[in-house]
């Protein structure tokens, strides 16, 4: 069975097609196609509250290309969702309607709660028992989710991301809100808390750290890599560290969010599994197509890594 997912974020848009493999009652997914296109919707929306005509045209063309690939792969089902930037854009619904008319692709604008719920479907298979704080940093928002023995206990979305421009005072206010929320949940009183980091920036940080082993990075390694990256200019990050331009200018504010979250809950390590919303969408689709709850399906421990 082939499935396709489109994740329309604030900093980039991700598209993937996978094939499900069922063997001896265990399910896994093989990636057939993956594309990350650096169309930064948040740059328009977070400053002007709408998507510009130029960006909208690129977006519509991109959706037409994705729909063509979906048809060519003859997928059984597909889903396309838009998050923070699109839901805040005044002309978001108009653009979504245009895509439906010219490309035949239905796009669902989802709120932070549903976004976290879908993302959970990709997180649960890669974590074990114990207490976990999941930190997902996007372009426009940061989602925090608390899990205990693979069951989500609490979650909250904060309007702070790698693309959204905030003053130092505004960022500090949100960091205080995050710390207070973590404290109120009682997470700070727990021992042996583990964190899970998702998002393109933590994947890149993990890759630069060149950590060997089990897809974890310590708080000390994270601090060291952050200092290492900050020693390079924006141009040098692109030319020497081989970062995409749309990664080079947001990796520092994003890394601060991961670091602050770890410190707020007292975690010493972060698991970086390389999965994201696009993978949660695939799990969600699979559950829908076979009409069976994910809790009754045995998956391989991990979908696949992007590192």
Q: Is there a contact between 272 and 203 (Cβ–Cβ < 8 Å)?
A: yes
Farthest-apart Cα atoms in the chain, separation: 55
Q: Is residue 118 part of a domain?
A: no
- Do 133 and 225 reside in the same domain of the chain? yes
| Helices vs. strands in the chain: H and E counts, helices first | 12, 12
Q: Is residue 23 part of a domain?
A: yes
pLDDT by residue for the chain (307 residues), tens only, comes to 999 999 999 999 999 999 988 877 788 889 999 999 999 999 989 999 999 999 999 999 999 999 999 999 999 999 999 999 999 999 999 999 999 999 999 999 998 889 888 998 889 888 888 899 999 999 999 999 999 988 899 999 999 999 988 899 999 999 999 999 999 988 766 778 899 999 999 999 999 988 777 889 999 999 999 999 999 999 999 999 999 999 999 999 999 999 999 999 999 999 999 999 999 999 999 988 887 776 666 666 544 444 4
- Do 18 and 50 reside in the same domain of the chain? yes
Structure tokens given for 168: 């130092």
DSSP codes joined into one string, 74-117: T-SEEEEEE-HHHHH-TTHHHHHHHHHHHH----EE--HHHHHH
Which of 86, 64, 66, 57 minimizes the C-alpha distance to 6?
66
pLDDT for 269:
93
- Do 147 and 261 reside in the same domain of the chain? yes
**Integer Cα distance of 217 and 197 in angstroms:** 10
Helix extents (H) in 124-199:
168-184
Give the chain's length. 307
pLDDT for 303:
44
- Do 185 and 88 reside in the same domain of the chain? no
126 class by beta-carbon count within 10 Å (0-12 exposed, 13-18 middle, 19+ buried) = buried
- Do 26 and 154 reside in the same domain of the chain? no
DSSP codes joined into one string, 244-285: -HHHHTTHHHHHHHHHHHHHHHT--EEE-----HHHHHHHHH
- Do 289 and 188 reside in the same domain of the chain? no
Number of domains in the chain: 2
**Integer Cα distance of 56 and 48 in angstroms:** 14
Strands 26-37 and 13-23: antiparallel
Range of the domain at 75: 2-110+276-299
- Do 32 and 150 reside in the same domain of the chain? no
pLDDT for 306:
47
Q: Is residue 123 part of a domain?
A: no
Q: Is residue 150 part of a domain?
A: yes
Q: Is residue 104 part of a domain?
A: yes
Domain containing 93 — which CATH number? 3.30.420.40
- Do 244 and 155 reside in the same domain of the chain? yes
φ, ψ at 162 (rounded to 5°): -80, -20
Residue with tokens 């969702």: 81
- Do 167 and 240 reside in the same domain of the chain? yes
Task: Return the percent helix, strand and coil in the chain, to nearest 5.
Answer: 45, 25, 30
Structure tokens given for 275: 């999965």
pLDDT for 307:
42
- Do 80 and 195 reside in the same domain of the chain? no
- Do 245 and 204 reside in the same domain of the chain? yes
Q: Is there a contact between 139 and 250 (Cβ–Cβ < 8 Å)?
A: yes
pLDDT for 124:
87
Q: Is residue 248 part of a domain?
A: yes
Q: Is residue 59 part of a domain?
A: yes
- Do 253 and 286 reside in the same domain of the chain? no
Indicate the angle between helix axes 53-73 and 41-48, nearest 10 degrees: 140
């Amino acid at each position: 069975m082939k499935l396709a997912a489109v994740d329309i974020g604030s900093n980039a848009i991700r598209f993937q097609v996978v094939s499900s493999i069922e063997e001896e009652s265990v399910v896994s997914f093989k990636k057939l196609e993956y594309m990350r296109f650096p169309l930064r919707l948040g740059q328009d929306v977070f400053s002007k509250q709408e998507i510009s005509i130029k960006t909208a045209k690129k977006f519509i063309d991109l959706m037409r290309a994705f729909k063509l690939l979906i048809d060519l792969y003859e997928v059984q089902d597909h889903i396309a969702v838009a998050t923070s930037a699109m839901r805040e854009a005044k002309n978001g619904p108009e653009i979504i309607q245009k895509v439906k008319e010219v490309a035949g692709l239905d796009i669902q604008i989802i709120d932070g709660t549903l976004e976290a719920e879908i993302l959970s479907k990709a997180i649960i298979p890669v974590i074990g028992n114990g207490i976990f704080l999941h930190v997902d940093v996007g372009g426009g928002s940061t989602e925090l989710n608390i899990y205990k023995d693979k069951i989500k206990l609490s979650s909250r979305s904060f309007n702070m991301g790698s693309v959204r421009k905030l003053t130092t005072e505004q960022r500090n206010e949100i960091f205080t809100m995050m710390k207070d929320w973590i404290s109120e949940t009682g997470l700070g009183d727990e021992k042996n808390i583990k964190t899970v980091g998702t998002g393109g920036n933590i994947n890149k940080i993990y890759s630069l750290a060149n950590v060997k082993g089990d897809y974890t990075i310590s708080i000390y390694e994270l601090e060291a890599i952050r200092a290492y990256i900050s020693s390079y200019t924006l141009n040098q990050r692109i030319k020497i560290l081989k970062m995409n331009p749309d990664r080079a200018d947001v990796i520092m504010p994003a890394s601060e969010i991961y670091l602050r979250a770890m410190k707020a809950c007292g975690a010493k390590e972060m698991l970086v599994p390389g999965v994201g919303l696009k993978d949660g969408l695939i799990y969600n689709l699979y559950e829908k197509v076979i009409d069976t709850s994910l809790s009754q399906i045995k998956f391989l421990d991990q979908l696949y890594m992007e590192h």
